[in-house]
Amino acid sequence: MKKTLYFMKKTDNSINNTLNLTIKPKTMKKTLIALSALTLIFSSCKEEEPLTPKTTDTSTDVNFVFKQYYDGYEVTAADFGAKQFLNAKGTSHTISKLQYLISDITLHKTDGSEVNLGGYNLIDVSQPLSRFYTPAVQIPEGSYSGVSVTFGFDGNDNKDGAYTDLNAASWSWPMMIGGGYHFMKFEGMFLDNTSTMKGFAYHNGTASKMNPNGTRTAEENHFRVRLWDANGGFQVKSGERMTIDINMNIAEWFKNPILWDLDQYHMMLMPNYTAQKMINQNGRSVLSLGNVTSPTN
């Protein structure tokens, strides 16, 4: 998966270098062992030279766990359609569906370098296993300050029909309103201002505007967030399987900076440019870095 993000562009080369070095060590180790054996057999006078720099010699697996909260309360599928939540505006609502897409996860080292793990994960709270994600890339040892992620897909990745698993998950975003894929489906019922229960479908994806001539202009609507470790950073050590929690506070979708009014915005939000931009604004405070666990953290 290519990354195109504006603020990451400058460091693309360094990321690729880091990745290349981290993918290789397993093969390099074997080569090293073979070479050392040969060295021992055939030459006893040559000075030993390290073939790999020490810092890239080791790497480890990282697992992400996506957790969902409503302020302090952890939301699970068991709450769907059952538990009443009260949003910032004071509207009572239930949740029946929560699915969202995260892509291009990047780990930030304290020395300023970055390790891009690429890929994407569609989280569906009704399918608990989808909350676990292990990128294909191993991460090098070192000291890290946090993580950044893209909510949804950036322009490069948001290609119509490009991902079979997402196609199968009915995750496409209609061509008429910009195409690509959904970034989120968040649904439930709410008690409207006439005390009637109504459905809401808070869906997010490409924003599109109706032009005076009836055509529509689409606008990228993903956002990238930097999530800092609350404890000032964490250490990655070789062979120690890491777990990093990425938490979503669902309540934030209705709260900050725009106080969301479900009476006004509850249905037909997908073609609604204003609603899509509002969701984009409110989304920026929704994710945070939770527990980072490993045998040493």
Q: Give the span between the Cα atoms of 12 and 156, in whole angstroms.
A: 15
Give the nearest distance from C-beta 58 to Cu ion in angstroms.
44
At its nearest, how many Å lie between Cu ion and the CB of residue 201?
Answer: 7
The piece of 35-43, 154-162, 202-210, 214-222 that touches Cu ion (CB under 5 A) is 202-210
Q: Is the dihedral of CA 112, 113, 115, 121 positive or negative?
A: positive
Task: Using CB positions, name the residue nearest to Cu ion.
Answer: 203
Q: At what angle do helices 25-42 and 12-23 cross, to 10 degrees?
A: 50
Identity of the residue, 41 or 168, whose beta carbon is nearer to Cu ion in the bound complex: 168
Q: Is 108 in the site for Cu ion (CB under 5 A)?
A: no
Considering the rule CB under 5 A, would residue 67 count as an interface residue with Cu ion? no
- Say if residues 152 and 287 touch (Cβ distance below 8 Å): no
H or E element at residue 28: helix 25-42
Alpha-carbon 90 to chain mean position: 29
Stretch that binds Cu ion, among 10-18, 56-64, 208-216, 262-270 (CB under 5 A): 262-270
CB of 182: closest distance to Cu ion in angstroms? 5
Smallest distance from the beta carbon of 185 to Cu ion, in angstroms?
6
CB of 173 to Cu ion, least distance (A): 7
Nearer to Cu ion, 59 or 99 (CB): 99
Q: Which helix (H) or strand (E) holds 290?
A: strand 287-293
Give the sign of the dihedral formed by CA 268, CA 220, CA 181, CA 289.
Answer: negative
The beta-strand segments (E) located in 81-231 are 85-86, 92-93, 97-109, 114-124, 132-133, 139-140, 142-151, 184-191, 197-204, 207-210, 216-219, 223-228
Smaller CB separation from Cu ion, 106 or 158: 158
Give the three-state DSSP class for 234.
Answer: strand
Binding residue for Cu ion (CB under 5 A) from 97, 109, 203, 266?
Answer: 203
Residue ranges of the alpha helices (H) in 74-177? 164-168
Tell me, residue by residue from 264 to 293, as one string, x for binding to Cu ion by CB under 5 A and - for no binding. ------x-----------------------
- CB 35, CB 215: distance < 8 Å: no
By DSSP bridging, strand 62-70 and strand 242-249 are parallel
Going residue by residue from 157 to 186, which x/- string records binding to Cu ion, judged by CB under 5 A? ------------------------------
Least CB distance from residue 205 to Cu ion, whole Å?
A: 7
* Nearer Cβ to Cu ion (59/204): 204
Q: What is the closest distance, in whole angstroms, from the C-beta atom of residue 256 to Cu ion in the complex? A: 23
What is the rounded distance in angstroms from the CA atom of residue 174 to the CA atom of residue 270? 9
Q: For Cu ion, give the closer residue by CB, 139 or 184.
A: 184
| Residue 109 found at the interface with Cu ion (CB under 5 A) | no
Shortest reach from residue 268's CB to Cu ion, in Å: 10
Residues of this chain that interact with Cu ion (CB under 5 A) are 203, 270
